[in-house]
Chains A and B, each alone.
Chain A
Amino acid sequence: MFTCDPPVAPSDATRPLLPGPGPPARVTMTAAAAAVSGRPLTMSRKRLQQLVDALGHSTKHFNKGEVECLIKLFDKLVAESSSRFAAAGFDRNMFRDILHSAFGMTDEMIMDRVFRTFDRDNNSCISVVEWVEGLSVFLRGTMEEKIKYCFEVYDLNGDGYISREEMFQMLKNCLLKQPSEEDPDEGIKDLVDIAMKKMDYDHDGKLSFKDFEKAVRDETLLLEAFGPCLPDIKSRMAFEQKTFRESS
């Protein structure tokens, strides 16, 4: 019900863009990247079409029309801020603003991590491809994709484990009322212990991806155990409705 009709695409023209065999996702990435590179500020219709086609293949959760809507939104947002940064995508601050205004996220650290997770190539800039592919998981990801995404967000140093220290970092603002007589960190440490006890199945004192996945499969609520990093149902639906309806 939130989808929009894809525009009738002259699809034949784009086919030759995809060269030869190989893992399709990777290929389309490069194809899309090729389409992006040297992109002028206002995209030509042909280029847009190529991009849409390329992304339409790599993201399974959006149809072509939706991809187009997202690209348009990207362009719009970039254009708005391009007076300040003439970059080819969102920088950290812009992305944070978007997360805050569109999805009501507040936690600085988590938003930072979401940015890094979106920013696959680590160039501190989210390109249009990263934007669409990131949103694909962010808005409509399967449970498996979401578990992977969340784990990446929570694994602050990217070493493949969520350590006690990382948990502490993420949970340190969790307790609203600090009991005055107690060491405020004490409560957080206890909470880390509780979380560890609940999720650390192999008892090695840190959460591996396997631990995390098992815990979430066991209890879905633990998907966002260390802070909200996915949109809630309301803001998600509002965003989808706004983005896809406006531009269709």
Chain B
Amino acid sequence: MGAALARAAQWTAAGSGTGTLEITPLNESLLNQIIKFVEDFSARHPREAAFVFKEPLEWKTQLDCSAFGNGYEITEATVQSEAKAKDGQSLLLLTKSTLRVRSFDQLSHVLQIAMEKKLKEVQACLEANRDPIVQILGPEYGTVEGEDRSILHLLEKVKKGGDPETEVKMKIFLLLHQLDLQLLNSSLKQISQDVRLNPAAVNNEVNLLKNFSEEGEDTVLESLEYTSDYVFSNGCRAPPWRQVHGEICYLVINPHDTDPLCITCSTAGVFLNGGQIDGKDHIDYERKSDVYKDIVTFLRERSPKFVENMAKQVSVLSYLFKMCLFILVYSCLKWVMLFFIFSKTSARFNNVSESSSETEEDEEQPVRHHEGGTDLPSEYWGIQKLAKYLKGGNPTATVIALCSMKDFNLAQETCQMAIRDIGCLEVLINLLDTEEIKCQIGSLKILKEISQNTLIRHAIADLGGLEIMVKILDSLDRELKCLAAETIANVARFKRAQRTVRQHGGIKRLNVWCCIHDSLGSTSLTPYQAKDTEMARCGALALWSCSKSTKNKEAIRKAGGIPLLARWLKCSHANILTPVVGTLQECASTPSYRLAIKTEGMIEYLVKNLSSEHEELQMHCASAIFKCAEDKETRDLVRQHGGLQPLSVLLANSENKQLLAAVTGAIWKCAISEENVAKFREYKVIETLVGLLTDQPEEVLVNIVGALGECCQESVNRSTIRRCGGIPPLVKLLTGTNQALLVNVTKTVGACATEPETMIIIDRLDGVRLLWSLLKNPNPDIQASAAWAICPCIDNAKDAGEMVRSFVGGLELVVNLLKSKNKEVLASVCGAITNIAKDEENLAVITDHGVVPLLSKLANTNNDKLRRHLAEAISNCCMWGRNRVAFGESNAVAPLVRYLRSNDPSVHRATAQALYQLSEDPNNCITMHENGVVKLLLPMVGSTDETLQEAAAGCIANIRRLALATEKAKYG
């Protein structure tokens, strides 16, 4: 105890006179051990605990008189214990704040009373009694450096048959001696963990930090300066009288986010000092903070901004780091630690998130290596030990080692990396190539677990593991095959691996060995069937992983996978169904699969599993339907198998966003059929969808809005949407940026705008302006659907002309879109122009912007949709000034006549109207006549469509009238 206190405990260095114990981790642990010793003393050594000290231990206590309870006489400010020594003195005496204690019994009592103040009390006691043994046993037992003979004297006394007191003394002395050794040992442990700084290391760290310190946001620090420029020959900057305390130098650091910090770098570490006093020359050397092992650690603790910017500097740093390496060899340990801090920070940004989407996963391969030497986790050593047996053992030893390795937490990255870095991965893969089934199984069991990690997956593929595993699929042992398939499923999550599996015939094998089993439909399983199920499951998992590549989808189909998948689909085990439907869903992105899903009768089972209790399975079913329901027959099949109701039920589960996205997608595609919409109306799907319009991720919104757009084709549904308050959120979505979403939103808003009542709401929310500004979007799909949406808006808005004029530059924008190359955009813009031209003033404006020549240029087209809208636009634009003549001059008339040969009656009608308008101009009549318009128009006069009839007749009348007039002029 004495030696430990004298040597190990850290007494304040700066103070003079009676030293005080600093609050350092080391001291704290020493004090705690002493407390434990004293507390247990009376219980463990009752006889010795009663021993009365030679001199009382005396110290200033913070305990209050009232704290003492039974066994004590309390009079005003004094407390006396009832227990008394032989000489009649109390064993415990408290006067004012001075406490005197004369036995271990009382000491442990005091500690019990002190409760949370224990530490303080012991500290005060030890500070007041620097060598407590002297007080306890007498001065002759005082701690002396070097040889200690007191124990020998005691021993002799005891031998001589001395009084029992000597024996007790002897025991106490031995106990205290034991405690002393224990304390020294533990403090040695602590001290050995301390990093001793030296001037060179400090200097390097300071220089490095200086490189990243200047004014400006991105640097790690604003500035960092030594307080003194003078360097002593030993590399220290601290004045000699401070060097004796181990201090090396003082720094003033200006971080971005806190006041300047004045720190001391000493051999024991870095800490905050009292700062500069009286200007620059004097420093308050007293320690004001904990001790950190270096400046970086200190700053990480003090300045959040430093940590943040440090992360940004990592890349620069690591480059610089390489450059500096040769300078830094002598302090390399320090640097590896520093690097560790950085690599840990950078690691956070490297994490590749997992998802099972169709996009290629983890293509990029972050390279990360464990820098050896420091801080290796304990798993490393454990795994390394086992690796020895994997490398140099026979199969029996290998199996034991493998089983033991399985007990590590293989899901943990540390272990995964340890296995890779130690070189176990190669050994594990080599084991797969042996004939030893048990070793293969053991190795696969580990590979299966660790291949959850991206880096490991890549490493396994690099080491040729996939080829071997594909070979194992032919093995006779079922368990082995299953494990291989499962591991392939894990590894084959990136393109290269998927290709490898295909090229080595893995897909064929998976198909073949999975299709033997027919018994999957039954519900009760014999153990044998259970194994089959397991095999089917693993096989399906592997296929699922592989099916993410397009070529693999083709390979699966060629290997006869489709009927197989269809058969599996009929089974009732969710754990097989999930990968099967997952594969189908993945493959449904190719047309051949969609056809197969329809013709092989898989829709029925997809629908059935929508009502499964597994959300993942439901999701895959829904997204398979989503992908397939582009096809009308498929949509009908979904309805016939009663799939619409489960879909609408699933909408209620709005927590699982992936599921919701798939379900709304399926609803969207199914809603393309009117019969389905009627069903959806029955299930109140529209109301639910409107309710889901807020606070959803975009991929869900796209589908919801798409579904609403399809439902909107019917007026009942449009009013439902309005009644449920769906219009405001829809209009709000017009301000978004997601392309797919905008296409659907514009379409839906356009459909809703056909109702005058709804139009009022849209107009009030300024929806038309939003639609109009979407015309500026570079995406032609959005342009087209925005233009289509604008048509009914103009049609139904009050004061539409005024409204359109109020959009600055709006009309010019529309006219310019006629230069687009996209047929759909052109048709939609023609539609918009048709509506705009209904207002005379606006017609004048667009005429000024050159709408006539632009329309005329489009006239030579074969696209019936465009023809129809173009003809309508032309007919409406004829109403202004000399536009009729202008159309004639820009050769729009002759192509129009040809439109009459089209098969589309709506084109006929629009064209006839346009021709009727154009025929008001004599020159146009001549052109028409020359192109044989009369012959084409005559049958149309007999049409059932009155508008067409009228227009055709009017046109013919105009031509005829001109002919009569000409004749009259000719012949008088």
Chain A positions within 8 Å of B, measured between CB atoms, are 171, 173-177, 179, 187, 190-191, 194-195, 197-198, 219-222, 224-228, 232-234, 237
Shortest distance in angstroms between B476's beta carbon and chain A's nearest beta carbon? 5
List 12 additional A-B contacts (Cβ < 8 Å) besides A221-B399, A224-B438, A225-B403.
A173-B394, A175-B392, A175-B394, A179-B392, A187-B388, A191-B400, A220-B479, A221-B441, A226-B396, A227-B396, A228-B395, A233-B477
Chain A positions within 8 Å of B403 at CB level? 198, 219, 221-222, 225
Is B407 positioned at the interface, with any CB of A under 8 Å from its CB?
Answer: yes
Is B404 positioned at the interface, with any CB of A under 8 Å from its CB?
Answer: yes
* 8 sampled A-B residue pairs with Cβ under 8 A: A171-B397, A171-B400, A191-B400, A195-B404, A221-B402, A221-B441, A222-B400, A225-B403
Most buried by A among B386, B400, B442, B476: B400
Interface residues of B in 465-522 (CB under 8 A from A): 476-477, 479
Chain B binding surface, main DSSP class: helix
Are B400 and A194 in contact, with the CB atoms below 8 A? yes
Shortest distance in angstroms between B66's beta carbon and chain A's nearest beta carbon? 51
Are B388 and A176 in contact, with the CB atoms below 8 A? no
Are B438 and A174 in contact, with the CB atoms below 8 A? no
What band does the interface of chain B fall in when counting residues whose beta carbon is under 8 Å from A? Answer: 20 to 34
Residue in A176, A195, A224, A225 whose CB lies within 8 Å of B392: A176
Check A225/B388 contact, CB under 8 A, given A197-B404, A232-B437.
no
Bound CA span A237–B475, Å: 14
Is B874 positioned at the interface, with any CB of A under 8 Å from its CB?
Answer: no
Check A175/B402 contact, CB under 8 A, given A225-B396, A228-B396, A232-B437.
no
Are A191 and B437 in contact, with the CB atoms below 8 A? no
Shortest distance in angstroms between B423's beta carbon and chain A's nearest beta carbon? 15
Is B141 positioned at the interface, with any CB of A under 8 Å from its CB?
Answer: no
Bound CA span A175–B399, Å: 12
Are A224 and B396 in contact, with the CB atoms below 8 A? yes
Bound CA span A187–B386, Å: 11
Shortest distance in angstroms between B384's beta carbon and chain A's nearest beta carbon? 12
Is B401 positioned at the interface, with any CB of A under 8 Å from its CB?
Answer: yes
Chain B positions within 8 Å of A220 at CB level? 479
Interface residues of B in 387-431 (CB under 8 A from A): 388-389, 391-397, 399-404, 406-407
Bound CA span A171–B394, Å: 9
Shortest distance in angstroms between B480's beta carbon and chain A's nearest beta carbon? 9
Bound CA span A195–B477, Å: 25
Chain A positions within 8 Å of B397 at CB level? 171, 174-175, 191
Are B399 and A222 in contact, with the CB atoms below 8 A? yes
Are A234 and B441 in contact, with the CB atoms below 8 A? no
Chain A positions within 8 Å of B479 at CB level? 220
Chain B positions within 8 Å of A225 at CB level? 396, 399-400, 403
Is B857 positioned at the interface, with any CB of A under 8 Å from its CB?
Answer: no
Is B54 positioned at the interface, with any CB of A under 8 Å from its CB?
Answer: no
Are B406 and A171 in contact, with the CB atoms below 8 A? no
Bound CA span A233–B437, Å: 9
Closest Cβ neighbor of B398 among chain A residues: A174
Are B393 and A176 in contact, with the CB atoms below 8 A? yes
Bound CA span A195–B401, Å: 8
Closest Cβ neighbor of A227 among chain B residues: B396
Are A194 and B404 in contact, with the CB atoms below 8 A? yes
Is B558 positioned at the interface, with any CB of A under 8 Å from its CB?
Answer: no
6 nearest interchain CB pairs?
A174-B397, A177-B392, A194-B404, A195-B400, A198-B404, A174-B394
Are A191 and B441 in contact, with the CB atoms below 8 A? no
Are A175 and B396 in contact, with the CB atoms below 8 A? no
Bound CA span A226–B395, Å: 10
Is B385 positioned at the interface, with any CB of A under 8 Å from its CB?
Answer: yes
Closest Cβ neighbor of A234 among chain B residues: B476
Are A174 and B396 in contact, with the CB atoms below 8 A? yes
Chain B positions within 8 Å of A174 at CB level? 389, 393-394, 396-397
Chain B positions within 8 Å of A, measured between CB atoms, are 385-386, 388-389, 391-397, 399-404, 406-407, 437-438, 441-442, 445, 476-477, 479
Chain A positions within 8 Å of B388 at CB level? 187
Shortest distance in angstroms between B472's beta carbon and chain A's nearest beta carbon? 13
Chain A positions within 8 Å of B385 at CB level? 190, 194
Chain A positions within 8 Å of B396 at CB level? 171, 174, 224-228
Bound CA span A173–B393, Å: 9
Are A198 and B407 in contact, with the CB atoms below 8 A? yes
Bound CA span A220–B26, Å: 49
Chain A positions within 8 Å of B401 at CB level? 191, 194
Shortest distance in angstroms between B513's beta carbon and chain A's nearest beta carbon? 16
Bound CA span A191–B395, Å: 13
Are B400 and A175 in contact, with the CB atoms below 8 A? no
Chain B positions within 8 Å of A187 at CB level? 388-389
Chain B positions within 8 Å of A198 at CB level? 400, 403-404, 407
Shortest distance in angstroms between A37's beta carbon and chain B's nearest beta carbon? 40
Chain B positions within 8 Å of A171 at CB level? 396-397, 400
Bound CA span A232–B389, Å: 22
Chain A positions within 8 Å of B386 at CB level? 194
Chain A positions within 8 Å of B445 at CB level? 221
Closest Cβ neighbor of A187 among chain B residues: B388
Shortest distance in angstroms between B489's beta carbon and chain A's nearest beta carbon? 21
Chain B positions within 8 Å of A227 at CB level? 396
Most buried by B among A219, A220, A224: A219
Closest Cβ neighbor of B402 among chain A residues: A221
Closest Cβ neighbor of B382 among chain A residues: A194
Shortest distance in angstroms between A170's beta carbon and chain B's nearest beta carbon? 8
Bound CA span A175–B386, Å: 12
Closest Cβ neighbor of A224 among chain B residues: B438
Are B394 and A221 in contact, with the CB atoms below 8 A? no
Chain B positions within 8 Å of A173 at CB level? 394
Closest Cβ neighbor of B397 among chain A residues: A174
Bound CA span A176–B395, Å: 10
Bound CA span A213–B749, Å: 70
Shortest distance in angstroms between B21's beta carbon and chain A's nearest beta carbon? 43
Closest Cβ neighbor of A219 among chain B residues: B403
Shortest distance in angstroms between A169's beta carbon and chain B's nearest beta carbon? 13
Chain B positions within 8 Å of A234 at CB level? 476
Bound CA span A228–B403, Å: 16
Bound CA span A129–B404, Å: 39
Bound CA span A233–B397, Å: 20
Closest Cβ neighbor of A170 among chain B residues: B396
Shortest distance in angstroms between B869's beta carbon and chain A's nearest beta carbon? 73
Bound CA span A232–B480, Å: 13
Bound CA span A222–B438, Å: 9
Chain B positions within 8 Å of A191 at CB level? 389, 393, 397, 400-401
Shortest distance in angstroms between B390's beta carbon and chain A's nearest beta carbon? 11
Residue in A195, A221, A226 whose CB lies within 8 Å of B442: A221
Chain B positions within 8 Å of A195 at CB level? 400, 404
Bound CA span A198–B385, Å: 15
Chain B positions within 8 Å of A222 at CB level? 399-400, 403
Bound CA span A40–B754, Å: 106
Shortest distance in angstroms between B138's beta carbon and chain A's nearest beta carbon? 48
Chain B positions within 8 Å of A232 at CB level? 437
Chain B positions within 8 Å of A237 at CB level? 476
Bound CA span A212–B797, Å: 85
Residue in A175, A221, A233 whose CB lies within 8 Å of B389: A175
Shortest distance in angstroms between B365's beta carbon and chain A's nearest beta carbon? 32
Shortest distance in angstroms between B132's beta carbon and chain A's nearest beta carbon? 42
Bound CA span A174–B393, Å: 5
Closest Cβ neighbor of B406 among chain A residues: A219
Closest Cβ neighbor of B478 among chain A residues: A233
Bound CA span A227–B395, Å: 8
Closest Cβ neighbor of A225 among chain B residues: B400
Are B438 and A221 in contact, with the CB atoms below 8 A? yes
Chain A positions within 8 Å of B393 at CB level? 174-176, 191
Shortest distance in angstroms between B860's beta carbon and chain A's nearest beta carbon? 75
Bound CA span A226–B438, Å: 13
Bound CA span A224–B400, Å: 10
Chain A positions within 8 Å of B477 at CB level? 233
Chain B positions within 8 Å of A179 at CB level? 392
Bound CA span A226–B476, Å: 24
Shortest distance in angstroms between B438's beta carbon and chain A's nearest beta carbon? 5
